[in-house]
Chains A and B, each alone.
Chain A
């Protein structure tokens, strides 16, 4: 141990001992980043109305509450439906847009890129209020269609950036070679380019799904009626009182997120920065 402290940590002769503060800080940061979210999982199995850790008695009552409630189930179905549809719309739209921005050699490309990432930079409240205002007039308030359109716009920046960075590591000469051998552009893209950027596309699709599934503010305004989203109902429940059912739902959501993230790490593992 002592010899480790004195051993060099870098090639510039900084020792591990001199870096202890950095290791301590890193440990604290990991705790700060992970512990709060993960501790919700055991707490959700608590029998008590006041969530305790460790729970005095274990119980599944909050999970039963969730699965037995028609409102929560309706909201869950809406959220899943909207998230899947958003993924199916945002991924291809973002893919062809990223392709256009990567290959077209005209000055407007830069402006188009900025416009496509504005949904990430404009305060989401503003997008929500604007969508609400327009949806009332288009009569698509509280519909799945309206939610999917709004969520697609929110997901597009991430999709375009992730697929765009996948394009940057791909050698376009391969697609050009296929085209010079007689393949039409679409065929060259589908058979040569797409398989090689698939990790980026998969990551983008997962991000689009999560963007929609986790979205709260837009859903607060344009979901409701027959189509409330899960997050909208959770947010409303949070404002009223701390219902431990939320802990059960949160745990399920953390589980889903973690699974998706590990999948992305595994299949999107070759992503590059």
Chain B
């Protein structure tokens, strides 16, 4: 008994030391965490409180009932979801095959084509949105060329509307889909596909029943990231939508810049955040959050 009591005592001390050490290590993340709390958590909590303050300064739910009652607000949410859904769908349709192409090419060629994904990814969103504005406007390049080639006669309105917004958003969002999908595709064991085909599966069958399911986690992570980013997007719809496509984020800005209505803006922000939170929470069972950013490009 006595001989084993000494190591036990020691073990308790060591254990305490070890957990103290772990906590000290963890403490290294405190400066970063503190900054996030000061700039993000506290202000957002503050906005949450503001959203329950009515025009008369007393507690009120008017900022929330307004969203349900006013048709203009319902429309804003409808457009936000519409733009987000369509952009995500287009990004999947265009991005998945491109990621597949990258994954199938020998590394040297794939790296070259990767520039096409990484260069836009790194380039300022504002610059890219501006580029589309220049290309798509009435006197823009695409109209000039289409008319001189006789594809259409009159300048077509491709910007300051839904189509311009969608083109611009798709361009911004594609890398967010392609990178995680490419990541999971590279991790797929090619022997699985070979095994399927040696067992008699046609290439199409092998793709859909073996390869595609194995890449779903990446596709899911990418689509989720695109959708969440779209929900709160501001610059591209503001520049390419021409005031016709009003998304929630734009209404938040105009509520503050034009109407100085903090309550209304805050309530919109809270609703936007709650929607994004619910989607992420539901998705967290299927996808690891650190996969969202494409694993660190």
Contact = CB atoms under 8 A, between A and B. Distances in A.
Interface stretch (B58-66, B70-78, B120-128): B120-128
B235 A40 contact: no
B253 to A, nearest CB: 6
Interface string A208-225: 001001101100100000
Interface in B226-242: 228, 231-235, 238-239
B126 A234 contact: yes
B: contact size bracket = 35 or more
B89 to A, nearest CB: 16
Contact of A125 (B123, B137, B232): B232
A112 B33 contact: yes
B22 A104 contact: yes
Q: Is the interface of A mostly helix, strand, loop or mixed?
A: helix
A25 B97 contact: yes
A152 interface: yes
Contacts of A234: 126, 130
B232 A123 contact: yes
Contact of A116 (B36, B127, B135, B295): B36
B43 A37 contact: no
Contact of A214 (B37, B124, B135, B252): B124
Contact of A231 (B22, B126, B131, B290): B126
Nearest to B44: A130
A136 to B, nearest CB: 11
Given A104-B25, A161-B290, A165-B295, A217 B235 contact: yes
A23 B100 CA distance: 11
B174 interface: yes
Contact of A130 (B47, B94, B97, B130): B47
Contacts of B46: 130, 133-134
A235 B167 CA distance: 19
B33 A115 contact: yes
B79 interface: no
Give the most central of A109, A123, A246: most B CB within 10 Å: A123
A161 B137 CA distance: 38
A74 interface: no
B34 to A, nearest CB: 10
Given A12-B193, A39-B141, A250 B127 contact: yes
A2 B287 CA distance: 44
Contacts of A194: none
A99 interface: yes
A126 B35 CA distance: 16
A127 B123 contact: no
Interface in A14-45: 14, 18, 22-23, 25-26, 29-30, 32-34, 36-37, 39-40, 43
Contacts of A29: 94, 98, 116, 174
A120 B29 CA distance: 17
A202 interface: no
Contacts of B130: 40, 234, 238, 246-247, 250
A268 to B, nearest CB: 10
Nearest to A232: B126
Interface string A227-262: 000010011001100100011001001100110110
A81 interface: no
A97 B31 contact: yes
B39 to A, nearest CB: 4
A199 to B, nearest CB: 11
B127 A34 contact: no
Interface string A95-113: 0110111011110110011
Contacts of B249: 123, 125
Given A106-B23, A122-B273, A122-B276, 5 more contacts: A34-B119, A123-B272, A160-B32, A242-B134, A250-B124
The 6 closest A-B pairs by CB, nearest first: A123-B232, A130-B43, A165-B296, A100-B28, A214-B124, A100-B29
26 contacts: A22-B97, A25-B97, A26-B97, A39-B135, A40-B130, A93-B32, A99-B25, A100-B25, A100-B28, A104-B22, A112-B33, A117-B292, A122-B232, A125-B253, A126-B232, A129-B266, A133-B50, A149-B39, A214-B127, A220-B253, A238-B130, A238-B133, A250-B124, A253-B123, A253-B127, A257-B123
